[in-house]
Each structure stands twice: as C-alpha cells, then as structure tokens.
Structure 1
Amino acid sequence: MTTQRAVRTWMAVDAVLVLTLVVLLAVRLSGDAGSGGAAQPSATTTVQVSGPTTPAGDRAAFKLPSGNIACTMSARGVTCTIASITYDPPAVAGCSGTTGHVVVLNADGFAFDCVDGPAPTVAGGDVPTLEYGSKATAGDFTCVSATNGVRCTDADGVGFQLARAAWRELP
C-alpha cells in the first residue's frame, strides 16, 4: 500500500513539473513570436541635428533601448560606445589600450578607437532613447536603431553596423 501511494505521489509531482515546463515553454515561444525577429528600420521617429558647421551645442545623443549602445552625433561625425561585447575586439595599430568598445565615423571613414581605461558602461537614464525602428540624423550622418543593433552611415553609405555579438563595416 505504501509503495502504491509513493508511486502515485511521484506521478503527481512529475505531472505538475511537466505541466509547468509546458506552460513556461508556451509563454517563451509566444513572446518570441510576437517580436517577429529583427525590427526593420522605419521613419517613425527622427532626431535631426543639422548645419554646415557644428557648434558644441549642436549635438544629438541617444542610446538604444537596451542601453548597451550609446551614440553622439554632430555634423562632423558619429561616435558610438558599446558596453558589453561578445565579439573579438579588432586590433588597432599602435594601441596599448582597449579596443572594440568605441567606434567612430567621420569624414575619414569608419574606425575603432583606442581607449585608455575601462570599457564604457551601460548608458544612464539621462540619455534619450532612440526606439527600435527609429533614426537620428546629423548633417550627412544617419543612425538607425534596431533590435539587432545600430547602423550608422554617411551620405555615401559608408559606415558600420554594431551589436553585442558582431560588428560590420559598411558598405
């Protein structure tokens, strides 16, 4: 009798555990399906900073919703920082500091910057958020926020795509 009771108890516990696992899996899958993959950029929100010369106050700053990537823009160029990376940082000639966390796009093109000191941290609450699917422009430079990172280019399409897992030079 005691063995039958123990078997029924274990079967009930197993059934509860399996049911919990199925519910958690269903919740997880329904959350992923709702996102539809990477967000496609759209012109829903635009931050515009313009002018042939850029005084110090003519800058735009933003972070992506995750806070991991933050950028500053002006008519002279774009600088983006990324706090957490999983890619191998590229080598920068002559650099004895940290690379891989700061990218620059300006009239000279795209490059990783050599930084002395620790990697940047996640952007704070005081930095405006550029929602996924939105873009910011300054002069000839445009950055588009997406769930798969940020894409910044100049008027000729030269630039970069930056995300936690990878970076890519454009075009």
Structure 2
Amino acid sequence: MGLSSRMAGLSRGMRAFLLVDLVLVLALVVVAAVVLSGALRSTGPRDTGSDVDPAPSASLSGQASTPTPTATGAGLASFTTQLRNIACTMSDEGVTCTIADKTFVPPGAEACTGTIGHVVVAGAEGVDTPCVDGPAPAKAAPDVPVLEYGSTSTVGGWTCTSATNGVTCVEDASGTGFRLARAELVAIG
C-alpha cells in the first residue's frame, strides 16, 4: 500500500497532524545541520556504530565537558538519545521519531524515490515510515534534551523509553508502537 493510499485513509485532522509533525521534524533537521555543520565530527563523542555513548560525561581530552540538557522523563515533548542519533517529538496524538544513521532497510524502500526509514510516525492509524523528499536528517542539536538510557517520557497516551538498544514508543492503552535502533525498526503489537 503506497503512502498516498495510506494518507487517503486517514482523517483530515490526522493528515494535518502528520504533515505538521513532518514539517517540524524537517525544520529541526535543517536547523541542526546548520548549527552542527561538522562540529560533532571534530569534538563530539566517538561514534562506535552502536547506540551506546562511550564517554557521555567527558570530552575527548579527558576534561569535563559542557553539560547537555538531560532528563529522566515524565513528559518531555521532544527528546534525543545520548548519541543524538534518534530524536522524537511526542504529543497527545502520537509520536514522530527521526534517525540520522541507520543500517536497516524499511518496508517499501523499493517504491520510495526519496529517503525512507529515517522518519517513523506512530498515531491512531498505526506506525508508518513515510517516503520523504530530501536527504536523511542530521543528528539532534545540542540544545535538545537527552532522555537518559533507562528513562521514559510520557505525553498524552504515549510512552517512549530510551535504552542502549534504541528507543521504544508505545500507545499506553493498546500497547502498539515501535522500537527504533540503528540496526532495526520493529513494529510492536
């Protein structure tokens, strides 16, 4: 089922919600790309290819680094993981997450002429990975709060949990949602 036929099955309000979320996520990606433009490559934590930050509280020189906003959850509307590879926006209607670096191939990739799998949207209609025009998103900006590993954030009827193996977001009432990590996207429920 193509994106246009899936979108046609959504209510007008849900389509508007998804469109606004997508625009906001893409705007965040553009701002992050402009702000970071290479800064993470020269001063950020070493990317080991996993979702684990090798030294979250020290700079490469061993000196204490400038603290990043962190949180233990309880209602962050927007957050990122410790490596800033996954960033999510939560609302009463659902969750939208982006992933900068991924190795999995999402369903529907062969039909997408843009990028697919870098944006995951969960809402009343289920989980979707829209085909998006343009490049993959950049890692989250330094001012986006970090949801520490083992912590959760709940907004509306949705709960997201950050862990070393990715981010899991589920609708509290139904238990449906997804787990997103560099190596895979798994539908839940």
Tell me the TM-score normalised to structure 1 length: 0.65
- Contact 1:77-1:107 within 8 A present in 2 as well: yes
CA displacement at 1:92 relative to structure 2: 5.8
1:105 and 2:132 are equivalent in the alignment: no
Say which SS state the counterpart of residue 117 (structure 2) adopts.
coil
- What pairs with 1:46-125 in structure 2 (closer than 5 Å)? 46-48=73-75, 60-91=77-108, 95-125=112-142
RMSD: 1.7
Mapped partners of 1:87, 1:109: distance in 2:
20
1:158 and 2:185 are equivalent in the alignment: no
Alignment length (residue pairs): 118
Mapped partners of 1:63, 1:48: distance in 2:
13
- Contact 1:101-1:119 within 8 A present in 2 as well: yes
Structure 2 residue runs of 5 or longer lacking an equivalent are 1-70
1:168 and 2:152 are equivalent in the alignment: no
1:136-156 CA distance string (max 9 Å, x none): 111111100000000000021
Structure 1 residue runs of 5 or longer lacking an equivalent are 1-43, 50-59
Identical-pair percentage: 54
- What pairs with 1:20-39 in structure 2 (closer than 5 Å)? none
- Contact 1:92-1:112 within 8 A present in 2 as well: no
Mapped partners of 1:93, 1:47: distance in 2:
38
1:65-88 CA distance string (max 9 Å, x none): 010000000101100000001112
Matching residue's letter, 2:72? T
Structure 2 equivalent of residue 37 of structure 1 = none
Tell me the TM-score normalised to structure 2 length: 0.59
CA displacement at 1:45 relative to structure 2: 2.3
Matching residue's letter, 1:64? T
Mapped partners of 1:101, 1:133: distance in 2:
23
- Contact 2:75-2:155 within 8 A present in 1 as well: yes
1:37-62 CA distance string (max 9 Å, x none): xxxxxxx922326xxxxxxxxxx110
